[in-house]
């Protein structure tokens, strides 16, 4: 057992590199999926309600009348469920700028992942990759405040349910919350890169 503990204790540098690889995989995979319509459709509620990103959409805050006569945000009437596409919804999203924005966002996410990965060999690049990961995660976590869809809605049923709204996270909300791990990972990577940068500078001075 002592050997195992010593092995774990001595593997910190390798584990930080593994963290870099893990973040890269997540960033590259999720960022790459932004090139596909179903993923672009899926992030619409997050983007449309975000004060940081909503302005990228043409009709992010447009209010329209639903079939029940209620005033709702336009995007709620044009949702495509994963695995199902409706032509009129696709056309609305094309005019809204949904897909163009998603392509750009995906490129940014993949780029940040590459910066993090390159930090294995280039600490200065990794430093900025870590900070950008932290910043991106901060924006993502803000969806917990701005996006109604991250909490379970009250859809009614045979009897009233008390399990809706805060703190009852929906599937999307649970995925968003996990970004707090990415946020901490970004700081760890930035800190490790900073130590390596300072170490090289100290060696150079000596």
Q: What is the pLDDT of residues 6-47, one digit of tens each?
A: 888 888 888 999 999 999 999 999 999 999 999 999 999 999
pLDDT at 200 over 60: yes
d(CA 109, CA 27): 6
Model pLDDT, residue 206 = 54
Place 68 in a pLDDT band, splitting at 50, 70 and 90: confident
| 101 prior amide bond cis, ω within 30 | no
Place 169 in a pLDDT band, splitting at 50, 70 and 90: very high
Q: Nearest to residue 171, comparing CAs of 195, 153, 194, 146?
A: 153
Model pLDDT, residue 143 = 96
Model pLDDT, residue 125 = 98
Model pLDDT, residue 128 = 98
d(CA 201, CA 196): 9
Higher pLDDT, 1 or 166: 166
Model pLDDT, residue 203 = 62
Note the pLDDT tens digit of each residue in 155-164. 888 887 788 8
Place 180 in a pLDDT band, splitting at 50, 70 and 90: very high
pTM attached to this predicted model:
0.89
Q: Residues 145-150: what's their mean pLDDT?
A: 95
Q: Nearest to residue 112, comparing CAs of 34, 204, 2?
A: 34
Model pLDDT, residue 31 = 97
């Amino acid at each position: 057992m002592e050997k195992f503990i010593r092995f774990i204790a001595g593997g910190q540098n390798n584990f930080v590199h593994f963290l870099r690889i893990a973040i890269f995989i997540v960033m590259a995979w999720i960022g790459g999926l932004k090139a596909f319509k179903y993923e672009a459709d899926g992030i619409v509620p997050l983007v449309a309600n975000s004060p940081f990103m909503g302005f990228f959409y043409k009709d992010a805050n447009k209010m329209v009348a639903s079939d029940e006569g209620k005033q709702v945000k336009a995007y709620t009437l044009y949702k495509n469920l994963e695995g199902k596409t409706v032509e009129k919804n696709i056309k609305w999203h094309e005019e809204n700028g949904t897909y163009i924005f998603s392509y750009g966002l995906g490129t940014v996410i993949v780029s940040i992942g590459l910066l993090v990965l390159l930090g294995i060999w280039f600490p200065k690049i990794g430093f900025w990759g870590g900070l950008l990961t932290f910043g991106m995660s901060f924006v993502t976590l803000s969806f917990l405040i701005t996006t109604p869809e991250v909490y379970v809605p009250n859809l009614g049923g045979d009897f009233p349910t008390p399990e809706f709204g805060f703190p009852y996270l929906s599937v999307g909300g649970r995925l968003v919350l996990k970004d707090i791990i990415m946020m901490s990972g970004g700081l760890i990577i930035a800190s490790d890169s900073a130590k390596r940068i300072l170490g090289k500078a100290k060696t150079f001075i000596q």
